[in-house]
Each structure stands twice: as C-alpha cells, then as structure tokens.
Amino acid sequence: MTAGGYFGQALVVDVTDGTAETLPLTDEVLRGYLGGAGLGTWLMHRLAPQGVEPLGPGAPLAFVFSPLVGTPLTTSAKFAVVAKSPLTGLLNDALASSQFAISGKLTGNDAIVVHGRAAGPSVLLVDGDGARLVEAGDTWGTSAAEAESRLGERLGRGWRIASIGPAGERGVCYATLSHDGRHAGRGGLGAVLGAKNIKAVAVRAATKVAPADQDAVLVAARDLRERSFGQATAKYRELGTLANLLAFNAINTLPTRNFTAATFTDAPRLAAEDLAEARGVARNSCASCTIGCEHIYQTKGGGQARVEYENVFALGPMCGVSDPDDVLAASARCDELGLDTISAGGTIAWAMECAERGLIDAPWLRFGDGAALLRALDEIGSGEGLGELLAQGSRRAAELVGGGSEDFAPHVKGLELPGYEPRTLQAMALGLAVNARGADHNRSGAYEADLSGEHDRLAGGAAHVTAAIGTEDRAAIMDSLILCKFLRGVFTDPFDEWSALLASVTGWDVDGAELAATAQRIVLAKRMFNLREGWTPADDWLPQRLLSEPVEVGERTAVLSPERLRAMVDSYYAARGLDGAGCPDEAATADLRLDNCILSTRGWMP
Amino acid sequence: MTAGIVLAGGRSARMGTPKAALEWHGSTLLRRTTGLLARTVDGPVVVVRAPGQQLPEVGPSVEVVDDPAEGLGPLQGLAAGLAAVAGHADVAFVCSTDLPFLHPAFVRRVLAAVDEQADVVLPRARGYPQPLAAAYRTALAPLVDKLVAAERLRPAFLFEETQVTRLDDAALLAEPVLAALDPQLDSVCNINEPADYETARARPAPEVTVQRYGALATGDGHRGPRSVRAATLAAAAAAADLALDRHVVAALNGDQISRDAELPLATGDTVAFLSADAGG
C-alpha cells in the first residue's frame, strides 16, 4: 500500500509523440528520497542517459511534487523542477510554488517527467485523462505571464500552468520556468523545456490524496501557522529579502562591481527600508502560505515588479547600478524574458568588466550604466549583439573571450554566484564551492553560521565545515518535503519536527535520525549524478579573484587563501565519506537505493 | 599573528577588593579588558592569575593560566603569559586588568610598532613608561623565565637585555585614528584606589553609533544612525530599544558578528543590529 500523501508513481511523457508511461515509485524510493529535489535526483539517476545533452531530446525534465503538497501545512505548496542543467552540465533542481504544485500532484502523480521533442511549439496537458499535447504556436515569443494568461483563457477553469518566456525558447542557458510569476529560476531549466518545443505544462486536479493521520496534520498545521506569524519570519513579512541589502552593505558582504568590492556606496538608494515606503504597492503570498514574503513595487511608468534581494543585488551593486528605476526595470525585463536574475546580472557584470578592460568590443557597456544594463538584457533576449555570447553564462563566455577573464567570471560549476561575499562569509565560501548545483545560496545556507556570531566569519576552519554541512543537510530535507526555507527559523529541532510532520502525512514511523540520514543520502546522490556526468574535484572551487584579492573589513583584511579553501574542502570530503576524487565508499553507494544495474553500469558496484 | 595577555594576579592592596571583579557598566573590569583585547588581536587571549585566585567570568574563548608562584610581580606573570601564547602568536599586547579606558586603537598602535628592530614596544604615555600596556615578542618567554629565576623581577631588567622601541605621546598620537578616539591617551589610566575607581566610573560610557537594519528598522524612529552612550553590546541594544534575543545579532564596526551582551564597546564604535534571519 502506498504511504499517505503519495500516489506511488511518476508519469513519464514523451513529447515527441505524446505517449506516456507510468513509472512505479516504491515505498523504499519514496521514503529514501521523499519528494521535490530528493525524488527528482533519484529520477534523474533512473531516467537521464549518462552524458545526455541537456538541450537534446533525450534529456528528461521532471516536475516533482512532495508528500506535504495538498496538506494545510503552511508553505507546502511547492514543486521542484529537476534536470541536467545546460548552464552547468550537472544536476540542477529549482523550486517554485503555488497552485501548480497542488494541481500537478492531484493529477495522481508524484512527478511528471517530460522527455523527447515535440514537432512544433506545444503545451503539454496532464490531468485525470493522462497526458496530451496541444499546439501553442500563438504563445511562442510571449512572456511566461502572457502565455499563462492566454492558455488559462483557452483551457478554461481548473488548469494551472507553468510556462517559459522567450529566453527559454531561445535556449538561453539561464532561462527560467515560472508559474504565477514565481520562477524555478536557477540553472536554465526553461531552456530545457524550450528545447523540447514545450512552451508550457498545464495540469488539472483530478483526484485527492489523504494523509495517514488527518487530525494530526490539522493540529500540526495550526501550530505551524501560529509560529509562522512570529519574529522568525518578520523579516520576510515586513520588508522581504531585500532587507538584506543595506544590512549586508553594513557588514562588508555585498558583492559589488563583479566582486571587486564588498560594499556599495550607493546601496541606500536601493534599500528596502526606503523603497518599501516610496514604491511598495502590495504584499502577496503563495498558495498555502501564511508568511507573505512577496513585496511588489511600482516601477517607472506605472508597472509593477516583484522585488527580492537577489534581483536587486545582481542587477544593482553587482553591475554598479544604483538608480532604482533602472534596477526595477531590469528586474521586470528579466521576468518578461524569463531570465534568472542572478545569472543575468553576474554575466553582465563580468561583461562590463571585460568591456572596461578592452577584452570585448562594447564601449557602451560600463559598470554603473543602467541603460547599458537594460540593453545587455535585451540583447540576451534577442540574441543580437553580445546576446549569443552572454546567453551562455559567464563561464562559457569567459572561455570564449579568454584574456584572463576566466579568473573573474563569477561562477562555481558554471552557476553564477549569489549576493553573499565569500571572502567575508567563509562558511558560505565552502558551501558555495562544494554544492552540487554550483554557487547557490538556497542549497547551502552556510551564511547562517557566518552571521551567527559563533565563529569568526573571516577565518574559515573546522567549525565552518561542520556548519556548512549542517545547512546543506537541512536544505536537502526542506527542498524534498517541500517546505519554504523562509520558515526555517521557526523550527528549534528541525529533523525531529520535520519527521513528525512527515509521519503524520505518510504514516511512516520516521524519526529525526532517519531524516538526517535521508539528508545525507540526497546530498550524496546529487554528487553521484554529477560524478557520472564528468564532475571532478576541481569543480568544487571558487573563482580565482576570490582567492587572490583581499577585501577590507573594518580594521581587518578578509583573505580567503587557496590553502584555506583546500583545507575546508578536504575536511568536507572526509566528513561526507568521500575520497580525494570525490567518490563515496561502498556502504554509502549501496545506501543510494538505486537499482544495482544502474550502479554497475556506472562503475559504482563490483 | 598577535595575542593578548591580561595580568590579573596583583594583590589589589590599595583598592581593598580584587580589581578584576570591579563592576564596570554591567560587566567587570576583567571582562572588559579581555573582551577589548579579543576584539583587537587575531590570536589567543589569556588571563594570568595568581595560584588559586578567584576570577570573575572572562570572555568567550579566553584562556586562564596560573602563575606558578605568587607575589613575584609582573615579570612572573609575563613569563607565564608569553609561554602560554608563544606557539600561537609572534607578538602579544600585555596589560593589567585595571585599564577601563583601554582603546583598541591604542592596542593596534602599539602592536603596529613591533618590527624587526623591536623586541618590546614600550609606550611612555602621560609621563610614565607603561610596561603593562606594551607589546612583547613571545620569543622573549625563555629570557623572562631566566630573569625571574635570577630574581631580577623588575621590567627594567628585561628592557636592559632587549631591543626596546619607546613611543612617547607624540609618537602614539601620530596615528590619526588613535588621536581621534583617545586624544588624552586615557588608555593607560589605571585604577589603584577606591577614589580612582569612583572617578572613572562616574565618567560617561563611550559614545558609539547604533543603527537598526531591515525588519528591525521598521516603525517610527528606528531608521538611521544614532549616537548613544554604551559600554557593552547589551547597553547599545537597550539604547536602540532592542533585546539581544535569538532573532537579533550585532555587527561591530562592520566586522565581528556577536550576540555577546558583555562585548565591550569603545569610543567611536559603530554597532549594526541585524535580523538573525538575514539571508535569502
């Protein structure tokens, strides 16, 4: 019997001809990988051919739901999108939220996997009648929001739609996929869907799923809801993540002008504290969320934009741009095109530096020039001018341009760095270096340790390694259950509390210790996927600039030497049970719960 | 790397009560002195106490070591302190526990004067040499031991056998940050008698700048920097209408992150109060 909260199957759709198969998901697999990012990782091991071209027809892309979706537990209406990334060539998962998660799961599937390539622009429909394709040429070229609106009108009531924008259609390596304005942003999953000629996936609920202990779930939901109104979420509720900007500037942690500085003189112009008063027009929530972190600001000309710290960091200080009109316009433009703002901003900041150094011929492109920022975004969207180069992300663009620009390309494993200065947050430096997805603040929240005051954030060492592993493990579970990380501060004993939630939904006798082991399994499984796709230990590293150029922090100088990072990475490997080549031992491999035939074909089993 | 050594083993005879435990704006003199050194040096901080001496709480990660013998004066304590940090730092700032106005800028100024020609940097401030507000190479530990064994117990004997750089008031105040933050060189004002203590305690707490950020800055009157008087982080938080609970952390001068209520503050410090949930 399938556990509560699950259907025990994934729907695997070949969009080449619209046929679909059901892939059974055993209790062992579900309990071992939970859902979301964890189950998505297992599906990629199972379904992605080794060495598959991310934008080729053989590459699978999975929409993965979770056991908590559909319950009244706050922030649980989320889904993961998982595939091999065209930006990194490695495993990528990105989360989005709201009604698509609920309706997608209630199609009767724990995951919907798409592979193949449709003959022309199409929409994939999935409901109780299974999967089918409909032609969608009229939406090709539109923004995701416009496509969602048009398809919603055409399909009628009950359909929930996740769509790509023009960047996904054009194969921009950091194109997003979004639903109701919320993006599965990182790693270019929009390009993967676009390469299949799929503009959107539409889902309609057809069934129900019951938790094992409905009363316990309701009690837990009420408790969690009350806690979600407290101080631990105040930041998200009151100002949103943009509250970071001025604070990070005050502690020399705001990456500026492509990591040439850690403070931005004009940061106050972009501060949430002021912008919220001057431009705030609304605050929204995802479905089933009681936090309400979305802060909507008015843009010049009467438009509106969702504002997050990462948008503003990447399109503001990272590019040296301080005019809020320009930054909000750039953010809105990224939404229209369907671009990951962090990778877009990071890649453009790299290009600005290249232009100023004379490495690329673009005299119009300079740090601090808002008009140039907008032009660069337009070129990425259209493929004109620098667009084709910049659409590949900073790593590949730097390989093409050369001239030493590889040293200041702001990425790890090809994924552009988020707005956390690694030299002044050295637990985070490790987290960014070793994470399977690349430079990422959502899969490794090690900055929490740096900002806790418990360790010297400028002197990375053993304590920082332990902290980084802890945050990576917690993220693995939150991304698989799925619960929003903005809720993390309300949990005092996370693994025990999460296991209680999971037990009430599934009926499993799961406890905190099991969930802690599950976290390690998921983290390891991600690394193992990368290993088979050509990852090497050299990929667990930071850009040369961060290891050779110090930054000033008050009376001190922040230095992150290659030796210090090497020592932390080595300690991380040891703690994760990996050898120097990043390979796990036999016991850890067996615990991955993959079919023996898969393991043996990849050389992981004798 | 630099270290800090606080000699706490004196008898406090004139004070009539242990000076290390004297109250100082909600903390103690020892806590303040060790805390100021800890936020200034990049290596260990140790307290040297007399055998069996009871001490008030010292700051986080501060080590306490014992003098092997009592009543032999500061060189005995210096020997114990230098030996304790010798493997971890090249130079140590050494001071007594009774310097309530010791400023980090003074410590930095003295430590910065240690060069290849200097075994000791000895301030001569406010008219007197200040061997207990001075910098010593940790490699001097065996020499100091030898002097103690020979009962040559005055610091002057050490200075006879070492290279000493002397800094007078003008040399000290040539450093602009120190000149701005401690123009009278109050850093070397020590407290020996109850009247000294009362006079010093009556002075206002250091003037520092506090600012609330993010969600802590919402609401009337909570935005922007404010100048307040506060000798500890807890006092600064209170002046900013905040409690240092699990949801609040402070950043000192854009650098050190702390929730330590007794973290000592000095004139000119800036304290940024952040949501502990900072992050995306």
Helices vs. strands in chain A: H and E counts, helices first: 25, 19
Instruction: Scan for tokens 């972190």, then name that residue.
Output: A293
Say which amino acid occupies A518.
T
Q: How many residues does chain A have?
A: 606
Asked if the C-beta of B142 comes within 8 angstroms of chain A's C-beta atoms, the answer is no
* Element housing A38 (H / E): helix A36-47
Asked if the C-beta of A556 comes within 8 angstroms of chain B's C-beta atoms, the answer is yes
Domains A9-204 and A240-409 agree in fold: no
Query: Is beta strand A78-84 parallel, antiparallel or unpaired with respect to A91-97?
Result: antiparallel
Residue A602 pLDDT: 62
Weakest mean pLDDT among A16-25, A268-277, B26-35, B100-109: A268-277
Residue B218 has its nearest CB partner, among A238, A309, A445, at: A238
Q: Are B271 and B236 in contact (CB under 8 A)?
A: yes
Domain boundaries, chain B: 2-197, 204-275
Structure tokens at B74: 């500061």
Sign of the Cα pseudo-torsion (B23, B25, B31, B37, in order): negative
Q: How far is A235 from chain B (nearest CA, A)?
A: 5
Please tell me whether the overall predicted TM-score, pTM, comes out greater than 0.90 for this model: yes
Q: How far is B181 from chain A (nearest CA, A)?
A: 14
**Cα gap A531→A583, rounded to integer Å:** 8
Categorise residue B100: left if φ over 0, alpha if ψ from -120 to 50, beta otherwise: alpha
Residue B255 has its nearest CB partner, among A234, A451, A553, at: A553
Residue A606 pLDDT: 40
Q: How many residues does chain B have?
A: 280
What architecture is domain B204-275?
Roll (3.10)
Q: Are A95 and A184 in contact (CB under 8 A)?
A: yes
Asked if the C-beta of A447 comes within 8 angstroms of chain B's C-beta atoms, the answer is yes
**Cβ contact, residue pair A489, B277, below 8 Å:** yes
Asked if the C-beta of A264 comes within 8 angstroms of chain B's C-beta atoms, the answer is no
**Cα gap A472→A466, rounded to integer Å:** 10
Asked if the C-beta of B176 comes within 8 angstroms of chain A's C-beta atoms, the answer is no
Residue B277 has its nearest CB partner, among A232, A273, A453, at: A232
Q: Are B133 and B154 in contact (CB under 8 A)?
A: no
Asked if the C-beta of A183 comes within 8 angstroms of chain B's C-beta atoms, the answer is no
Q: Which residue of B has its CA nearest to A450?
A: B257
Asked if the C-beta of B211 comes within 8 angstroms of chain A's C-beta atoms, the answer is yes
Q: How far is A148 from chain B (nearest CA, A)?
A: 27
**Cβ contact, residue pair B257, A452, below 8 Å:** yes
Nearest to A455 by CA among A446, A447, A464: A464
Neighbour-count burial of A331, counting CB atoms closer than 10 A to its CB (0-12 exposed, 13-18 middle, 19+ buried) = buried
Q: How far is B18 from chain A (nearest CA, A)?
A: 31
Quote the percentage of chain B above a pLDDT of 90: 78
Q: What are phi and psi of B133, to 5 degrees?
A: -155, 55
Report chain B residues whose CB lies below 8 A from the CB of A244.
214, 278-280
For the domain made up of A448-601, give the CATH fold.
Answer: 1.10.599
Residue A597 pLDDT: 55
ω before A482 within 30° of 0 (cis)?
yes
Q: Which residue of A has its CA nearest to B41?
A: A556
Domain boundaries, chain A: 9-204, 240-409, 448-601
- Nearest-5° angle of CA B229, CA B230, CA B236? 110
Asked if the C-beta of A450 comes within 8 angstroms of chain B's C-beta atoms, the answer is yes
State CA A180 to chain mean position distance: 17
Asked if the C-beta of B34 comes within 8 angstroms of chain A's C-beta atoms, the answer is no
Q: For the residues B159-179, what does the mean pLDDT come to? A: 96
Side-chain half-sphere exposure of A257, counting CA atoms within 13 A: 18
Number of cross-chain residue pairs from A and B with Cβ atoms under 8 Å apart:
110
Q: Which residue of A has its CA nearest to B253?
A: A554
Instruction: For residue A398, give Cα distances in angstroms to A395, A481, B81.
Output: 5, 37, 53
Asked if the C-beta of B225 comes within 8 angstroms of chain A's C-beta atoms, the answer is no
Q: Are A235 and A26 in contact (CB under 8 A)?
A: no
Asked if the C-beta of A214 comes within 8 angstroms of chain B's C-beta atoms, the answer is no
Q: Which residue of A has its CA nearest to B272?
A: A250
Residue A425 pLDDT: 97
Report chain B residues whose CB lies below 8 A from the CB of A458.
255
Per CATH, the number for A240-409 is: 1.10.569.10
Residue B215 has its nearest CB partner, among A243, A448, A457, at: A243
Q: How far is B193 from chain A (nearest CA, A)?
A: 35
Structure tokens at A133: 């394709």
Residue B15 pLDDT: 84
What architecture is domain B2-197?
Alpha-Beta Complex (3.90)
Q: Which residue of A has its CA nearest to B260?
A: A453
**Cβ contact, residue pair A451, B259, below 8 Å:** no
**Cβ contact, residue pair A251, B260, below 8 Å:** no
Report chain A residues whose CB lies below 8 A from the CB of B255.
251-252, 458, 553-556
Q: Which residue of A has its CA nearest to B261?
A: A453
**Cα gap B242→B215, rounded to integer Å:** 12
Side-chain half-sphere exposure of A339, counting CA atoms within 13 A: 35
**Cα gap B190→A434, rounded to integer Å:** 51
Residue B215 has its nearest CB partner, among A235, A250, A447, at: A235
pLDDT-flagged residues of chain A (< 50): 605-606
For the domain made up of A9-204, give the CATH fold.
Answer: Aldehyde Ferredoxin Oxidoreductase;  A, domain 1 (3.60.9)
Neighbour-count burial of B128, counting CB atoms closer than 10 A to its CB (0-12 exposed, 13-18 middle, 19+ buried) = exposed
Asked if the C-beta of B209 comes within 8 angstroms of chain A's C-beta atoms, the answer is no
Report H helices in A255-402: 272-279, 309-315, 324-337, 341-357, 370-382, 387-390, 393-401
